[in-house]
């Protein structure tokens, strides 16, 4: 990275925050930013603005979520953290091989969350789907995003397609449905042509 851009947003690492509804698999919001409290607060505030009812929320154990959720929701949420503890990395595979998860602890933070539903599995699977469907998320290639604007636009197209145009296998009963259909936001599977027509 050029020295003159050191610490400048859009150069180096950026993070993609995602939220997912466990029932409909809808991704109600996402945000590209840095991994800090301010960005987490903007993301969580956006999520709150899109919700009509009190919800149960689970995040990972990153401390920035404690502040962000408190400021955005106050007491109007049932909130828990799932804190995973990891062992050492596999021998001989130091760089990108994930460390082994050796335990997961559930921590009730706010309200009265159902402990049987404290989980980050759906959002972790969504992150894997995102990584597999967007070439610029592939590690150790030259396909990574060169411009922040293009990266953000690629994500916008991905999430629009994911929510509105891609039937989800777990939502096939009684008929093929997208997350947006399951959430009552639309009554049909959108085509790419319909998505493109939104650009105006």
State the pLDDT at residue 2.
Answer: 78
Domains defined for the chain, CATH in brackets? 3-166 (3.30.420)
Strand partners, 101: 86
Strand partners, 59: 81
CB atoms within 10 A of CB 19: 22
Please provide the distance, in angstroms rounded to a whole number, between the alpha carbons at the two ends of the chain.
35
Cβ atoms of 161 and 192 within 8 Å: the answer is: yes
Q: What is the pLDDT along the chain (200 residues), one digit of tens a residue?
A: 778 888 888 888 889 999 999 999 999 999 999 999 999 999 999 999 999 999 999 999 999 999 999 999 999 999 999 998 888 765 655 566 667 888 889 999 999 999 999 999 999 999 999 988 888 887 777 888 888 999 999 999 999 999 999 999 999 988 999 999 999 999 999 999 999 999 87
Residue 102 tokens read as 């050796």
For residues 111 and 172, what is the distance between their CA atoms, to the nearest angstrom? 33
Helix (H) or strand (E) holding 131: helix 121-133
Assign 99 to helix, strand or coil.
coil
State the pLDDT at residue 96.
Answer: 62
State the pLDDT at residue 104.
Answer: 87
pTM across the whole model: 0.87
State the pLDDT at residue 90.
Answer: 57
For residues 114 and 56, what is the distance between their CA atoms, to the nearest angstrom? 8
Cβ atoms of 79 and 110 within 8 Å: the answer is: yes
CB atoms within 10 A of CB 156: 12
State the pLDDT at residue 7.
Answer: 81
Strand partners, 16: 32
Q: What is the DSSP letter of 32?
A: E
């Amino acid at each position: 990275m050029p020295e003159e851009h050191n610490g400048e947003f859009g150069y180096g690492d950026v993070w993609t925050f995602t939220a997912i509804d466990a029932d409909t698999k809808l991704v109600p919001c996402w945000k590209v930013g840095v991994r800090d409290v301010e960005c987490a607060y903007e993301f969580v505030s956006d999520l709150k603005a899109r919700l009509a009812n009190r919800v149960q929320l689970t995040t990972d154990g990153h401390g920035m979520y404690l502040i962000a959720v408190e400021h955005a929701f106050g007491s109007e949420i049932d909130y828990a953290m799932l804190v995973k503890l990891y062992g050492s990395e596999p021998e001989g595979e130091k760089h990108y091989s994930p460390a082994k998860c050796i335990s997961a602890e559930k921590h009730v933070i706010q309200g009265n969350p159902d402990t049987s539903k404290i989980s980050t599995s759906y959002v972790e699977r969504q992150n894997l789907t995102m990584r597999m469907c967007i070439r610029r998320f592939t590690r150790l290639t030259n396909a990574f995003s060169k411009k922040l604007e293009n990266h953000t636009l690629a994500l916008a197209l991905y999430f629009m397609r994911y929510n509105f145009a891609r039937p989800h296998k777990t939502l096939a009963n009684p008929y093929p449905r997208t997350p947006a259909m399951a959430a009552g936001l639309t009554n049909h599977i959108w085509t790419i042509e319909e998505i493109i027509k939104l650009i105006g």
